[in-house]
Amino acid sequence: MASPPYFKVNIMTERLRIAVQKKGRLADESFSALKKCGLRFTIRGDGLLARVKNLPIDLLLVRDDDIPNFVSSGASDIGIVGENVLKEDMLNAKDPMSLTIERRLGFSRCNLCLASIDGGNIQTPKDLEGTKIATSYPGILGQYLSDNNINAECIEMKGAVELAPRIGVAPSICDLVSSGATLEANGLQAFATILKSEAVLIKTGQELSKEKQEIYDQLISRLDGVIRSKDSKYIMLNAPKSQIETISKILPGSDAPTIIPLAGNDDLVAVQAVCTENVFWETLEALKKAGARSILVLPIEKMMG
């Protein structure tokens, strides 16, 4: 007897998992970047998982320190984390982590700096020899000290590192700085930057299923559009025909601009271009000097190559 036909029905569509910080300095901008990629989701009070409504994607809402491990182990396929946390975790991991940095995201920028009492006797990295340094980043600091042949003792603190000099724990610190206000409020001054950090998208080293890889590729293509459109502007202006070459050279980060004739005017043309770099007031002044008129700079919301 012929066996009945069996149809393989995949009821459990695979969902790509993205680990993001639940709450903190990285969280809002991570959510915002994903929303700009068209992901629709709601973050509820104490949930650990947010389901994306319009794509097969789940967000794992976790502490930032756990993100590299989640991604390396494959518990999450990708993640958004600060390079400072990533590098520290990689240096402290027993086994090499299985992950790659796929994109730099340009937010949560900060510097990991060495700082000491303003006007005190530690003013350069060499002055650290034989002293104590308080930090939450013993891995990165330890590597910096050994790379620079400095013998100093790292005192690990989980938080409030900036208080260490005042309470006598250590005369200097190694901590994250963004505006510099915390250092200033504590009478400290930075004298060296040992790591420049920003949020990065990391991907597990483990192979993704075909289904997940497709979702990932779609997300990355949208993310690239978000990253590119961030600093990009659309410029429109009128210019004398004779000045097209000079004006094209001034337009920052644009390929060949579009040149359109103007009705009833043989000498003037309309120039339109996508500028992929920042357009400053100085750029507009230079364009005007070169003969451009009616200059408009418009934001670009989305881009796809």
Q: Which residues contact ligand PRT by CB under 6 A? A: 21, 24-26, 63-65, 82, 84-85, 108, 110, 175-182, 197
- For residue 128, which of 89, 91, 92, 170 has the smallest C-alpha distance? 170
* Angle between helical axes of 27-36 and 210-231 (0-180°, round to 10): 100
Distance of closest approach, residue 84 Cβ to ligand PRT, in angstroms = 5
Q: Which two tokens stand for residue 252?
A: 């920052």
Give the amino acid at 18.
I
The partner in contact with residue 30, picked from ligand PRT, Zn ion, none with C-beta cut-offs of 5 to 8 angstroms by kind, is: none
- For residue 91, which of 137, 148, 34 has the smallest C-alpha distance? 137
Give the amino acid at 285.
E
Nearby residues of 299 by Cβ (< 8 Å), 6 or more positions away: 233, 234
- Cβ-based burial of 34 (10 A; exposed 0-12, middle 13-18, buried ≥19): buried
In angstroms, the CA 76 to CA 18 distance is 6
Q: Which two tokens stand for residue 240?
A: 């004398």
Out of 64, 89, 127, 175, the only residue in the binding site for Zn ion (CB under 5 A) is: 64
The partner in contact with residue 26, picked from ligand PRT, Zn ion, none with C-beta cut-offs of 5 to 8 angstroms by kind, is: ligand PRT
The partner in contact with residue 182, picked from Zn ion, ligand PRT, none with C-beta cut-offs of 5 to 8 angstroms by kind, is: ligand PRT
Specify the residue, 16 or 176, whose C-beta has the smaller distance to Zn ion: 176
Question: Does 129 interact with Zn ion (rule: CB under 5 A)?
Answer: no
- In the block, residue with structure tokens 């004298």: 191
The partner in contact with residue 47, picked from Zn ion, ligand PRT, none with C-beta cut-offs of 5 to 8 angstroms by kind, is: none
Q: Which two tokens stand for residue 206?
A: 């483990």
Distance of closest approach, residue 24 Cβ to ligand PRT, in angstroms = 2
Specify the residue, 158 or 210, whose C-beta has the smaller distance to Zn ion: 158
In order, the DSSP letters of 55-104 are: SSEEEEEE-GGGHHHHHHHTSSSEEEEEHHHHHHHHHH-SS---EEEEEE
Distance of closest approach, residue 293 Cβ to ligand PRT, in angstroms = 42
Distance of closest approach, residue 85 Cβ to Zn ion, in angstroms = 7
Q: Which two tokens stand for residue 36?
A: 């700009």
Question: Does 65 interact with Zn ion (rule: CB under 5 A)?
Answer: yes
Distance of closest approach, residue 110 Cβ to ligand PRT, in angstroms = 3
Specify the residue, 91 or 286, whose C-beta has the smaller distance to ligand PRT: 91
Distance of closest approach, residue 66 Cβ to ligand PRT, in angstroms = 8
The partner in contact with residue 36, picked from ligand PRT, Zn ion, none with C-beta cut-offs of 5 to 8 angstroms by kind, is: none
Contacts with Zn ion by CB under 5 A: the residue count is: 2
Residue ranges in contact with Zn ion by CB under 5 A = 64-65
